[in-house]
Amino acid sequence: MKFIRISINEFKALLNRACESYYGHKYDFEDTAAIIQWLEIHDLMGIINFLGITDVNPKKLNLTPVLLKDNKKRFVFDNQKHSLMHTGSIITDMTLAKCHQDNICHSNINNTFQPIVILPSLIKCSQYGYYAKAWWAEPEKNLLYLASINPNEMYPNYSTIKINNSILNNKSELDLICSKDSINSIESYLKIPPLSQKGKVTREILACEFKQRFNEKITSGLYIETAQYTRLLYIADQILVEASEQSRLGAGE
């Protein structure tokens, strides 16, 4: 497998162009690019997730989620079978605004995929001085994913836990809680016994490890598989305009 090494700034510029090309100006493409960048820098497959979306939906679609319930301290969204990549931010915006008003907000996001993209959104909650937690499951693999962050922190803690499938029944696809006060345990929301006794942590990334991953990339750049880089470049290049003698006049020639 061949890799190309690029800097973070270079990567950011490439993603901005790719997202502008794919999403157009109808969406906050810079924000989506920043989410992909965060995931990739922290070794959480940002590029693969983005390219996965472009594979599924090669054309630009109406990507707005539907708000199913809007109660005190609670939202329920239907993400219309779209990735959370391009809707996670506006859902987090809604959650943050309700938390600001009601001191806490619990959002359920159904009918979605790629829930891991919620991780950078947790940092936004933290920067507001709020506590935040998110969790989702992969029932077919008996896995529960948990992420949490305290106020004013740079990184969340993120873990994957092996769990009994029966306790995951009826669970919405992604839960996001944002609160001004510390949040109850995820087990209490899931109504299950404490996971430390029943569950088994299969993967854990602590905040300090996220920071370490960032520092590594700042120092040395990112190594991206050449095939993925080429695909990103192809998408990004769609925003470039064909050159002509006439267009050269537009540069002052």
Positions touching other proteins (CB under 8 A) are: 4-10, 25-31, 63-65, 67, 89-90, 93-94, 96-98, 100-101, 124, 127, 218-221, 237, 239-244, 246-248, 250-253
CB burial string 191-210: b at 16+ within 10 A, e below: ebeebeeebeeeeebebeeb
Least separation in angstroms between residue 88's CB and other proteins is 12
Say which amino acid occupies 127. Q
**Quick one: 196 or 215, whose CB is closer to other proteins?**
215
Least separation in angstroms between residue 75's CB and other proteins is 10
**Quick one: 5 or 203, whose CB is closer to other proteins?**
5
Taking alpha carbons only, the member of 147, 174, 143 closest to residue 158 is 147
**Quick one: 169 or 240, whose CB is closer to other proteins?**
240
Least separation in angstroms between residue 69's CB and other proteins is 14
Beta bridge partners of 143: 138, 162
Least separation in angstroms between residue 26's CB and other proteins is 5
Taking alpha carbons only, the member of 186, 192, 188, 156 closest to residue 174 is 186
Residue 236 token pair: 């990004």
**Quick one: 25 or 191, whose CB is closer to other proteins?**
25
Counting Cβ atoms within 10 Å, is residue 17 exposed (0-12), middle (13-18) or buried (19+)? buried
